[in-house]
Chains A and B, each alone.
Chain A
Amino acid sequence: MSKRNPQLNANGELTHLLSIEGLPRDVLTHILDTAASFMEVSERDVKKVPLLRGKSLFNLFFENSTRTRTTFEIAAKRLSADVLNLDITRSSTAKGETLLDTIDNLCAMHADMFVVRHATSGAPYLIAEHLARVGRKDIHVVNAGDGRHAHPTQGLLDMYTIRHFKKEFHNLTVAIVGDILHSRVARSDIHALTTFGVGELRAIGPQTLLPTQIEKMGVRVFHDLAEGLRDCDVVIMLRLQNERMNGALLPSAREYFNRYGLTAEKLALAKPDAIVMHPGPMNRGVEIDSEVADGVQAVILPQVTFGIAVRMAVMSIVAGN
């Protein structure tokens, strides 16, 4: 029974980024500070630093996501790494190769880092543990989203965004709205925000979209959007997948929007300077009204820009440890 946090080495340094859960605040702060120093790189004419020159980074996307893969690719290229994109949604696994067979093969190609997206919660842990078992501690794993479990770089870029606009965490009220049950982003945000000591953390949604005993993760549950938004400093909206209507979790997108869709009128209940975040891609008219998505309080595009710097920071830090 392995109980040790597998993403930290014996010195407590980050060698993989698998989840925000269990990472000390100073590790998270160091990532955000490093990201801040990389922000300037993206504004140069020559957008490159040589930190990962000669390193091979494999984007292993067992589940499709062009957007997330692209942001990792851009971040890696700005660090001068060689990037290989493997679309393994169906290729090798369809031929019967197991996940760890695929990993062994890529190790033999002298990979230095795996960026992993997988539909099953915990898959990046299995890979990291396997690398330790076969003595390849020199290879680093970055979780780019596993099942419903974690999307730590998204969580970190959300923290970067909040820190950028609000400076401190301890005096903030943050609300996460929508399908928290199926959201790896929400779980990573919750762990990050509680680690940073946020003033109050709220989860807003119907019972069918909230995980059992979510209060134990340090959040206050609201079922009414207006009540939950009152005096919030930060509102994080989550994407609602269309398939949620099939499993008897919700009756319709229309009814959901009436209850939980963020409109200008509802947003007015939050603090006047509240920011609105969204991990994208947005469903306009389902979880968020266009007026809000395109409004002055939305920081959804800055999130994307910060995301590149945060991913550069994560990759350079794990590769350096």
Chain B
Amino acid sequence: MEKISIKNGRLIDPRQDIDAALDLHLADGRVAAIGKAPDGFADARLIDASERIVCPGLVDLSARLPGLEGELAAAVAGGVTTVVCPPDTRPPLDEPGLVERLVRRAADAGLARLLPVGALTASLKGEALAELDTLARAGCVAFSQGRVALVDMQVLMRAMQYAATYGYAIWLRPQDRHLAGEGIAHDGEVASRLGLPGIPAAAETVAIAGALELARTTGVRLHLSNLSTAGGVTLVRRAREDGLSVTCDVGIHHLHLTEMDIGYFDSAARFAPPLRAQRDREALSAAAVDGLAAICSDHTPIDEDGKQLPFGEAEAGATGLELLLPLTLKWADGAGLSLTKALARITSDPAAILGLPLGQLAVGAAADVTIFDPLAQWTLNANALKSDGKSTPFNGCGMQGKVTMTLVGGRVVFGG
């Protein structure tokens, strides 16, 4: 494989705490050196990164990828080099054959790395366990129920015991099905005013409390996805202080938006879990600032038919892969967080949750690199996104920071 030298850029690698004008040298799909070129790099391909930031490729802990190749192209256009996809697809990822085919198709596309999360239970029904060990061998990095609730706590406890036996992680989107009921928006001021059935914050905190207690007794590695409540953040923080092996993430939209953004029934602002109150948003932001939570895009492509419906009938979610970086930069700017720490939340932190040596530029690590112009100002035109999902509450908003080139395994897959 060719040798590449990325020169004249500002190199930021949160994992090694580097933020300096340093060149980056890649060979054989890996990082060969930082700073001075090693021997034999005289004829390397030169990439000029003047006035650009060079950082590890982004690791996104949750993105839905209908149509796979198109969404992987959207990922690399957004600087995302590793995409974790949930198992609640149709059919669900509960068969090793399905997982192998998915992984092979993604590898053939040669864009971002795809890491599937396997189904925790067969057909996600919450009754029988899926073949966790076989699925792990097929390429699954963790196991979850996606957005499907696991109601039977005995099944959850056994799933945790079984997963803990082999050291597999369980990821949950915590929401008690009965407390959520038919709810469609945060049970608060806005839902009360608009007459939208509410999802109480307790639907999340009750589910988290139960999952944490079972994680404590089973010793499983637990990851809680897409937290939305201040109470949930408090529970996770306390569990970590107690020494529990629990991690969490928050969707980038929940760091920016609240229930107020529903406005007059704007279905683009329908999310699962729902956008919550201002104090919830502040607690989530604090969790992301101090590193308790990683940040994901929770990319959910929805076509026009899925959103051109009354708020309560519209599908939940928004496009996110191509917005993860600019929206994270915007959030960090508002929260007063350094660039290095902001980038950690979308590179080294999610990689650490996966337990994989990604999201970093240490010598010998995979040469997954994102190069972006931190000062580029642009206006989001959703129709110009590569993703099939064009629905975003940020359409028409100003963004800062634009990816100019993305490399995966030392190959340029976007830009250049």
A1-B261, A1-B268, A98-B308 known; A121 vs B192 contact (CB < 8 Å):
no
Within 8 Å by CB of A187, from B195, B265, B268, lies B195
Q: Which residues of the partner chain A approach B188 to less than 8 Å between Cβ atoms?
A: 212-213
Binds B, one of A73-81, A146-154, A220-228, A268-276: A146-154
Q: Which residues of the partner chain B approach A216 to less than 8 Å between Cβ atoms?
A: 189, 192-193
Check if A125 sits within 8 Å of B265, measured CB to CB: yes
A98-B305, A212-B187 known; A21 vs B310 contact (CB < 8 Å):
no
Check if A121 sits within 8 Å of B264, measured CB to CB: no
Q: Which residues of the partner chain B approach A3 to less than 8 Å between Cβ atoms?
A: 263-264
Q: Which residues of the partner chain A approach B264 to less than 8 Å between Cβ atoms?
A: 2-3, 5-6, 122, 125
A1-B269, A3-B263 known; A126 vs B192 contact (CB < 8 Å):
no
- Does A100 lie at the interface of the complex (its beta carbon under 8 Å from any beta carbon of B)? yes
Chain A's closest residue to B181 (CB) is: A247
CA distance A149 to B185 in the complex (A): 13
A2-B263, A98-B309 known; A149 vs B192 contact (CB < 8 Å):
no
- Does B131 lie at the interface of the complex (its beta carbon under 8 Å from any beta carbon of A)? no
1/0 per residue, CB under 8 A from A, across B180-207: the answer is 0000000111011111111010000000
Interface residues of B in 229-287 (CB under 8 A from A): 261, 263-269
- Does A184 lie at the interface of the complex (its beta carbon under 8 Å from any beta carbon of B)? yes
- Does B311 lie at the interface of the complex (its beta carbon under 8 Å from any beta carbon of A)? yes
Within 8 Å by CB of B310, from A1, A6, A121, lies A121
Q: Which residues of the partner chain B approach A146 to less than 8 Å between Cβ atoms?
A: 195
CA distance A123 to B313 in the complex (A): 10
- Does A208 lie at the interface of the complex (its beta carbon under 8 Å from any beta carbon of B)? no
Q: Which residues of the partner chain B approach A6 to less than 8 Å between Cβ atoms?
A: 264
Within 8 Å by CB of B265, from A5, A98, A121, A213, lies A121
- Does A214 lie at the interface of the complex (its beta carbon under 8 Å from any beta carbon of B)? yes
Q: Which residues of the partner chain B approach A5 to less than 8 Å between Cβ atoms?
A: 264
Check if B312 sits within 8 Å of A120, measured CB to CB: yes
CA distance A158 to B393 in the complex (A): 37
CA distance A123 to B309 in the complex (A): 8
Within 8 Å by CB of B195, from A1, A100, A184, lies A184
- Does A99 lie at the interface of the complex (its beta carbon under 8 Å from any beta carbon of B)? yes
Q: Which residues of the partner chain B approach A125 to less than 8 Å between Cβ atoms?
A: 264-265
Within 8 Å by CB of B194, from A2, A118, A121, lies A121
Check if A149 sits within 8 Å of B268, measured CB to CB: no
CA distance A149 to B265 in the complex (A): 11
Check if B263 sits within 8 Å of A1, measured CB to CB: yes
- Does A106 lie at the interface of the complex (its beta carbon under 8 Å from any beta carbon of B)? no
CA distance A125 to B308 in the complex (A): 11
Check if B266 sits within 8 Å of A1, measured CB to CB: yes
CA distance A148 to B187 in the complex (A): 14
A149-B195, A212-B187 known; A122 vs B261 contact (CB < 8 Å):
no
Q: Which residues of the partner chain A approach B309 to less than 8 Å between Cβ atoms?
A: 98-99, 126
Q: Which residues of the partner chain B approach A1 to less than 8 Å between Cβ atoms?
A: 261, 263, 266, 268-269, 393
Q: Which residues of the partner chain B approach A120 to less than 8 Å between Cβ atoms?
A: 310-313
Q: Which residues of the partner chain A approach B187 to less than 8 Å between Cβ atoms?
A: 212
Within the complex, the shortest CB–CB distance from A233 to chain B, in Å, comes to 25
Chain A's closest residue to B261 (CB) is: A1
Q: Which residues of the partner chain B approach A184 to less than 8 Å between Cβ atoms?
A: 195
Q: Which residues of the partner chain B approach A118 to less than 8 Å between Cβ atoms?
A: 310
Check if A122 sits within 8 Å of B265, measured CB to CB: yes
Check if A126 sits within 8 Å of B393, measured CB to CB: no
Check if A126 sits within 8 Å of B310, measured CB to CB: yes
- Does A84 lie at the interface of the complex (its beta carbon under 8 Å from any beta carbon of B)? no
Check if A121 sits within 8 Å of B308, measured CB to CB: no
Q: Which residues of the partner chain A approach B196 to less than 8 Å between Cβ atoms?
A: 121-122, 147-149
CA distance A17 to B197 in the complex (A): 23
Check if B195 sits within 8 Å of A217, measured CB to CB: no
1/0 per residue, CB under 8 A from B, across A29-69: the answer is 00000000000000000000000000000000000000000
Check if A147 sits within 8 Å of B305, measured CB to CB: no
A100-B308, A120-B313 known; A187 vs B269 contact (CB < 8 Å):
no
Within the complex, the shortest CB–CB distance from B95 to chain A, in Å, comes to 31
CA distance A125 to B273 in the complex (A): 23
A118-B310, A120-B312, A126-B309 known; A213 vs B266 contact (CB < 8 Å):
no
A1-B261, A125-B265 known; A213 vs B393 contact (CB < 8 Å):
no
CA distance A100 to B192 in the complex (A): 26
- Does A211 lie at the interface of the complex (its beta carbon under 8 Å from any beta carbon of B)? yes
Q: Which residues of the partner chain B approach A98 to less than 8 Å between Cβ atoms?
A: 305, 308-309
Check if B312 sits within 8 Å of A121, measured CB to CB: yes
A5-B264, A121-B265, A126-B265 known; A147 vs B192 contact (CB < 8 Å):
no
CA distance A100 to B305 in the complex (A): 10
Check if A150 sits within 8 Å of B192, measured CB to CB: no
1/0 per residue, CB under 8 A from B, across A186-210: the answer is 0100000000000000000000000
Within the complex, the shortest CB–CB distance from B303 to chain A, in Å, comes to 13
1/0 per residue, CB under 8 A from B, across A136-168: the answer is 000000000011111000000000000000000
Check if A212 sits within 8 Å of B198, measured CB to CB: yes
In addition to A121-B196, A149-B195, 17 A-B residue pairs with Cβ atoms within 8 Å of each other are A1-B266, A1-B269, A98-B305, A120-B312, A121-B194, A121-B310, A122-B194, A122-B310, A126-B308, A130-B308, A146-B195, A149-B196, A211-B192, A212-B187, A212-B188, A213-B189, A216-B193
A interface list, Cβ under 8 A from B: 1-3, 5-6, 21, 98-100, 118, 120-123, 125-126, 130, 146-150, 184, 187, 211-214, 216-217
4 nearest A-B pairs in the assembled complex, by CB-CB distance: A148-B195, A122-B265, A149-B195, A211-B192
18 residue pairs bridging A and B, Cβ less than 8 Å apart: A1-B261, A1-B393, A2-B264, A2-B266, A5-B264, A118-B310, A121-B265, A121-B311, A122-B194, A122-B264, A126-B265, A126-B267, A126-B311, A146-B195, A147-B195, A150-B195, A214-B192, A216-B193
